[in-house]
């Protein structure tokens, strides 16, 4: 529940801030008449994300077990790739996000009818919606469709919506740069677990070698798949269900945070470790050690607060203040 809550909160807040920037800019530029068209695009993006989740949840139930595992594993890998890209994109492009969105709005309004704003609203929110749907679906699948995981995601999204509205109204001050940096670090860890789960699905589908295929090393006496170093590379890395109950609270906490399960294959461990080593190192270097393109301190000081989506504290009071302090 904690893992899905934080994912819903982060992704939902990012979408809420994008919408807040667009709405505030239309208010400031005196084009409130086209706001309904922007909201139509946002609504279509939300409905599209819900439809994708519905299709993923119920559409594969008529397929064979191997086909379900193959689809589930593939979508898990896609979700990890999309979220990883989003994390680094946010680090790199957050400062120019507001200017980019306002440019899109200007271009859409300049076309005359303003209906192009439907596309702006859809694309701005749809990307986060698809990422969130795939990532949450992969997490819920890994928990066996746990109602608690779905509840956590719903609470996270609702909290993000309320928090986004409070920031827009100027009633809450939040250091978004710190928020997105630390939630990004958490997402890197969670994504490693989703990657391991995706690998496990692909092994169960027979797409990758593992304990469920003929490539697995077996004990000649018992026929059981070997574990530990004897099971490397296509057997079990460990099987400790007798120590940590798979259905217990400790297993749930470990699975929802670091992707640990009481039974993991060597390929799962290798994928998990490589992801954390490579992606985790790159993230720490860029987010915490400053090994990324920087904006001069003078520019960062002189810009209005709303110009930096990563550090914006009150992104939208401009809707009520013609001085333009967004």
How far, CA to CA in Å, does 62 sit from each of 18, 100, 133, 202? 38, 43, 21, 18
User: What is the number of H-type helices and E-type strands within the chain?
Assistant: 10, 2
CA distance 255 to 297: 41
Concatenated DSSP letters of 82-120: HHHHHHHHHHHHHHHHHHHHHHHHHHHHHTSSSTHHHHH
Residues with Cβ within 8 Å of 179's Cβ and at least 6 positions away in sequence, in order, are 10, 13
Structure tokens at 154: 């719903």
Distance of CA 232 to the CA centre of its chain: 32
Render each residue's pLDDT in the chain as its tens digit; 326 residues: 777 888 888 888 888 888 888 888 888 878 788 788 888 888 999 899 889 888 887 776 777 888 888 888 898 899 899 889 888 887 776 666 677 777 878 877 777 656 777 888 888 788 888 888 888 887 777 666 567 778 888 898 899 889 888 888 877 777 777 877 888 888 899 889 889 989 999 999 999 999 999 999 999 988 899 999 999 999 999 999 889 888 777 887 787 778 888 999 999 999 999 999 999 999 999 888 876 544 443 333 333 334 444 444 444 444 444 344 43
Q: What is the pTM of this model?
A: 0.76
SS3 236: strand
Cis peptide bond prior to 233, omega within 30° of 0? yes
């Amino acid at each position: 529940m904690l893992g899905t809550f934080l994912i819903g909160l982060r992704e939902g807040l990012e979408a809420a801030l994008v919408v807040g920037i667009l709405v505030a800019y239309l208010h400031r530029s005196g084009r409130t008449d086209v706001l309904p068209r922007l909201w139509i695009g946002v609504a279509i993006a939300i409905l599209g994300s819900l439809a994708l989740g519905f299709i993923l949840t119920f559409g594969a139930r008529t397929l064979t077990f191997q086909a379900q595992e193959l689809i589930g594993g593939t979508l898990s890998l896609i979700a990890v790739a999309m979220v990883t890209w989003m994390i680094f994109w946010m680090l790199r492009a957050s400062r120019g996000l507001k200017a980019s969105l306002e440019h899109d709005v200007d271009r859409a309004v300049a076309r005359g009818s303003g209906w192009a704003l439907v596309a702006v609203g859809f694309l701005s929110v749809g990307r986060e919606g698809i990422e969130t749907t795939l990532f949450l679906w992969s997490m819920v699948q890994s928990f066996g469709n746990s109602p608690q995981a779905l509840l956590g995601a719903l609470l996270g999204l609702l909290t993000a919506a309320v928090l986004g509205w409070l920031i827009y109204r100027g009633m809450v001050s939040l250091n978004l740069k710190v928020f997105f940096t630390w939630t990004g670090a958490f997402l890197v860890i969670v994504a490693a677990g989703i990657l391991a789960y995706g690998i496990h699905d692909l092994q169960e589908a027979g797409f990758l070698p593992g304990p469920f295929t003929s490539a697995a090393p077996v004990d000649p006496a018992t026929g059981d798949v070997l574990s530990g170093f004897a099971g490397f590379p296509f057997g079990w890395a460990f099987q400790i269900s007798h120590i940590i109950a798979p259905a217990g609270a400790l297993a749930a906490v470990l699975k929802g945070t670091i992707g640990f399960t009481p039974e993991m294959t060597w390929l799962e461990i290798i994928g998990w470790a490589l992801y954390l080593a490579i992606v985790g190192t790159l993230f720490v270097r860029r987010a915490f050690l400053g090994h990324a393109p920087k904006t001069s301190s003078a520019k960062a000081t002189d810009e209005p607060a709303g110009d930096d989506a990563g550090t914006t504290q009150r992104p939208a009071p401009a809707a009520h203040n013609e001085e333009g302090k967004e």
